[in-house]
């Protein structure tokens, strides 16, 4: 790559079919060789070993541009690794990347989970399979946020939401003695952490049967299945019904999917965010807690805060901010790449009326 004065800019990957035609991955001249991938993986691994509180064996070991490998995402669950290659150049080299994972980490298995719809925008087909070793039978991993059943080759997701692990623990620390409602619970991370944290009862809602089956298995593995009620429902309908029935919760967690994959539908997404906040606020008593997360990089922090504020105005409630949350440190943020800071969250206490 060169600039307009013909000065070298470094090396990039190129895909004329993508909206992002060129992605620079080095300021130097580089070949995408095994040696290069080994070097990048070693560097990513060393960074994570130095991250306080992070278990380097249960984390995202490579996160795309943040680790100098645009489109490469590698999650580690002990000896098992899950690889996504979301850019054309990296996809073409996935065997090489798998070989580097084996060399650097001694991986027992490397599963390819290339099902992200982002690949379609890059002109890539969706694909899953083994790149190294045998497909592992479902196995358990433990973290300070709970125990999770990992199924790298089945399930609806590549594993668990590693970016939320710290936030599960945070929620668990606030849940003692509370009636908790976990909306969009997926595999139960928040619900289980709250049950372990001493919640008197937890209700966890998700629209996906398979996510709920995984959540139940995780709750059983954590020994808290008897304290969590799992509900298969659309959260929008569920909140409406609960509100109409006069339900109240001491702690509500909202961690929805991104609601939008492109800038065009941000307006609809914002209306969705507002609706769930409004309904949640109406069901919280004074002193009740709300933890809310937004994982869409198309929705700005300002928009997200504005929506929460609008909901409090409409609900005639006052919130006090107790904490801010973000993605775990194994998803490093690059200030030069604002999209890399995609997960924002807040915990609020609903104040008694003045
Ligand atoms: N809180 C989860 C992550 C949520 S991912 C965690 O930390 O693990 C989003 C989840 O929302 C998915 O499991 C998806 O099945 C679910 N979902 C999407 N739309 C929904 C809706 N309208 N009602 C209920 N669940 C929904």
Mean pLDDT computed over 277-283? 97
Pick from 128, 135, 148: nearest CA to 108: 135
Say yes or no: CB of residue 25 within 6 Å of ligand 1. no
- pLDDT at res. 154: 74
pLDDT tens by residue, 133-155: 999 998 999 888 788 889 888 76
Percent of all residues in the chain with a pLDDT value above 90, rounded to a whole number: 82
Region for 243 from its dihedrals, namely left if φ exceeds 0, alpha if ψ lies in -120 to 50, beta otherwise:
alpha
Tell how far the Cα of 341 is from the centroid of ligand 1, in angstroms.
20
Query: φ, ψ for residue 29 (rounded to 5)?
Result: -85, 125
pLDDT of residue 282: 96
pTM, to two decimals: 0.93
32-136 folds as Transcription Regulator spoIIAA (3.30.750)
Q: Which of 183, 185, 294, 295 is catalytic?
A: 295
**Ligand 1 binding pocket includes 217 (Cβ within 6 Å):** no
Cβ(231) – ligand 1 distance below 6 Å: no
Establish whether residue 182 lines the binding site of ligand 1, counting it when its CB lies within 6 angstroms of any ligand atom.
Answer: no
CATH architecture of 145-350: 3-Layer(aba) Sandwich (3.40)
Whether the Cβ atoms of residue 9 and residue 24 lie closer than 8 Å to each other: yes
What pLDDT score was predicted for residue 143? Answer: 84
Asked if residue 32 has pLDDT above 60, the reply is: yes
Is 292 touching ligand 1 by the criterion CB < 6 Å?
Answer: no
Q: Which residue has the higher pLDDT, 142 or 70?
A: 70
pLDDT at 280: 98
Q: How far apart are CA 126 and CA 120, in angstroms?
A: 8
Element (H, E) at 206: strand 201-206
3-state secondary structure of 203: strand
User: How do strand 344-350 and strand 289-294 relate by DSSP bridges?
Assistant: antiparallel
* Residue 79 to residues 69, 73, 102, 133, 186, Cα–Cα distance (Å): 22, 16, 10, 11, 24
pLDDT mean over 322-342: 95
Q: Are the C-beta atoms of residues 84 and 118 closer than 8 Å to each other?
A: no
Q: How much is the pLDDT for 259?
A: 82
Mean pLDDT within 116-135: 93
Answer for the pair 218, 196: CB distance below 8 angstroms, yes or no. Answer: no
Whether 73 has a pLDDT exceeding 70, the answer reads yes
User: For residue 232, how far is its CA from the centre of ligand 1 (angstroms)?
Assistant: 11
pLDDT, tens digit, 9 for 90 and up, residues 9-22:
999 999 999 989 99
Residues in CB range of 316: below 8 A, 6 or more apart: none
* Cα–Cα–Cα angle for 316, 321, 323, rounded to 5 degrees: 150
Q: What is the DSSP letter of 69?
A: -
Closest ligand 1 atom to 208 CA = 15
Least confident interval from 30-39, 58-67, 90-99, 292-301: 292-301
Where do the domains of the chain lie? Answer: 32-136, 145-350
- Given a contact cutoff of 8 angstroms between Cβ atoms, the answer to whether 84 and 143 are in contact is no
In this predicted structure, what is the pLDDT of residue 152? Answer: 85
Classified as helix, coil or strand, 164 is: helix
| CA dist., res. 289 & res. 291, Å (int) | 7
Tell me, what's the pLDDT at 157? Answer: 59
Measured CA to CA, the distance from residue 115 to residue 112 in angstroms comes to 9
**pLDDT tens-digit series, residues 156-203:** 555 789 999 999 999 999 999 999 999 999 999 999 999 999 999 999
Show the tokens assigned to 3: 């600039």
Q: How far apart are alpha carbons 278 and 319 in whole angstroms?
A: 12
For residue 323, the cross-strand partners are: 347
pLDDT at 249 over 90: yes
The average confidence (pLDDT) of the chain is 94
Question: What average pLDDT does this structure show over 116-121?
Answer: 90
Find all residues with CB under 8 Å of 197, minimum gap 6, and list them: 171, 172, 173, 174, 175, 176
Report which protein residue has its CA nearest ligand 1's atom 13: 186
Q: Is 185 an annotated catalytic residue?
A: no
* List of residues 6+ apart from 219 with CB closer than 8 A: 188, 191, 192, 195, 225, 228, 230
Cα 2 to ligand 1 centre (Å): 44
pLDDT of amino acid 40: 98
Between CA 130 and CA 113 the distance in angstroms is 9
Residue-level pLDDT at 114: 95
Asked whether 139 lines ligand 1 (CB < 6 A), one says: no
HSE of 295, CA atoms in CB hemisphere, 13 A? 15
More confident site: 170 or 50: 170
Whether ligand 1 lies within 6 angstroms of the CB of 236 is answered as yes
pLDDT score at 296: 87
Distance between Cα 212 and ligand 1 center (Å): 10
Q: Is the CB of 189 under 6 A from ligand 1?
A: yes
The mean pLDDT of 77-94, rounded to a whole number, is: 97
Q: How far is the CA of 150 from the centre of ligand 1 (A)?
A: 18
Whole-number Å distance, alpha carbon 200 to ligand 1 midpoint, is 23
- Residue 296 burial (C-beta neighbours within 10 Å; 0-12, 13-18, 19+): buried
């Amino acid at each position: 790559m060169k600039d307009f004065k013909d000065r070298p800019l470094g090396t990039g990957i190129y895909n004329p079919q993508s909206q992002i035609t060129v992605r620079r991955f080095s300021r130097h001249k580089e070949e995408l060789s095994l040696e290069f991938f080994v070097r990048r993986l070693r560097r990513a691994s060393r960074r994570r070993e130095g991250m306080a509180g992070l278990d380097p064996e249960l984390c995202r070991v490579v996160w795309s541009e943040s680790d100098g490998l645009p489109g490469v995402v590698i999650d580690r669950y002990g000896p098992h690794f899950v690889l996504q290659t979301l850019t054309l150049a990296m996809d073409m080299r996935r065997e090489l990347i798998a070989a580097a994972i084996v060399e650097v980490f001694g991986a027992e298995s490397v599963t390819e989970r290339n099902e992200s719809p982002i690949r379609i925008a890059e002109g890539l087909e969706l694909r899953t399979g083994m790149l190294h070793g045998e497909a592992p039978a479902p196995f358990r991993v433990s973290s300070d946020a709970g125990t999770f059943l990992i199924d790298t080759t089945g399930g609806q997701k590549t594993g668990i939401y590693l970016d939320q692990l710290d936030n599960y623990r945070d929620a668990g620390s606030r849940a003692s003695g509370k009636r908790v409602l976990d909306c969009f619970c997926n595999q139960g991370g928040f619900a289980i952490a709250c049950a372990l944290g001493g919640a008197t009862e937890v209700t966890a809602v998700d629209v996906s049967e398979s996510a709920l089956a995984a959540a139940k298995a995780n709750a059983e593995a954590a020994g808290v299945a008897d304290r969590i009620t799992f509900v298969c429902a659309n959260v929008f309908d569920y909140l409406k019904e609960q509100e109409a029935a006069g339900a109240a919760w001491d702690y509500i967690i909202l961690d929805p999917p991104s609601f939008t994959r492109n800038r065009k539908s941000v307006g609809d997404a914002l209306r969705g965010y507002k609706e769930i906040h409004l309904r949640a606020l109406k069901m919280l008593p004074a002193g009740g807690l709300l933890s809310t997360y937004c994982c869409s990089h198309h929705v700005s922090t300002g928009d997200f805060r504005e929506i929460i504020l609008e909901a409090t105005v409409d609900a005639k409630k006052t919130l006090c901010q107790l904490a801010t949350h973000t993605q775990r440190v194994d998803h490093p943020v690059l200030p030069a790449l604002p999209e890399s800071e995609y997960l924002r969250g807040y915990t609020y206490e609903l104040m008694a009326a003045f």
